[in-house]
Amino acid sequence: DTGVSQNPRHKITKRGQNVTFRCDPISEHNRLYWYRQTLGQGPEFLTYFQNEAQLEKSRLLSDRFSAERPKGSFSTLEIQRTEQGDSAMYLCASSLVGPGTNEKLFFGSGTQLSVL
């Protein structure tokens, strides 16, 4: 069962540094989502892709955040000039959308970012 894979699992960085996370979705899935989760909160939507097209970005996603899905397969999320407030679990999810599909999101285990 090749589920959604996220790397790294943990990332510790100093304030001001850039970080990049990777997500490998389930291979046939055409939608890919990024969420952020902080302690005591539910996942908050950041952005999503339909194949390689980025279709929506949350207002939570400042200019320091950029996401790509260059070939419609894996995706990267980069945070530039990290701030302590960026510390969170970053979750990736994928789904297959189309006629007859069940709208189920499959989540990865997340990347825990700590900004010191």
Partner 1 sequence: AQSVAQPEDQVNVAEGNPLTVKCTYSVSGNPYLFWYVQYPNRGLQFLLKYITGDNLVKGSYGFEAEFNKSQTSFHLKKPSALVSDSALYFCAVRKADKLIFGTGTRLQVFP
Binding site residues, partner 1, CB under 8 A: 3-4, 31, 33, 35, 40-45, 48, 50, 55-56, 91, 93, 97, 102-110
| DSSP conformation letters of 50-105 | ETTEEEEE-TT--TTEEEE-TTSS-EEEEESS--GGG-EEEEEEEE--STT-----
Nearer to partner 1, 17 or 41 (CB): 41
Q: What is the rounded distance in angstroms from the CA atom of residue 38 to the CA atom of residue 42? A: 7
**Residue 13 or 37 having the CB closest to partner 1:** 37
| Best CA proximity match to 47, nearest among 76, 18, 70 | 76
Q: What is the CA radius of gyration of the chain?
A: 14
Question: Nearest approach, Cβ of 22 to partner 1 (angstroms)?
Answer: 15
Closest CB to partner 1 among residues 49, 87: 49
Kindly tell me which of 74 and 107 has the beta carbon lying closer to partner 1: 107
Nearest distance in Å: CB 42, partner 1:
3
The nearest distance, CB 73 to partner 1, in angstroms, is: 19
Nearest approach in angstroms of CB 71 to partner 1 is 21
48/64 Cα distance (integer angstroms): 17
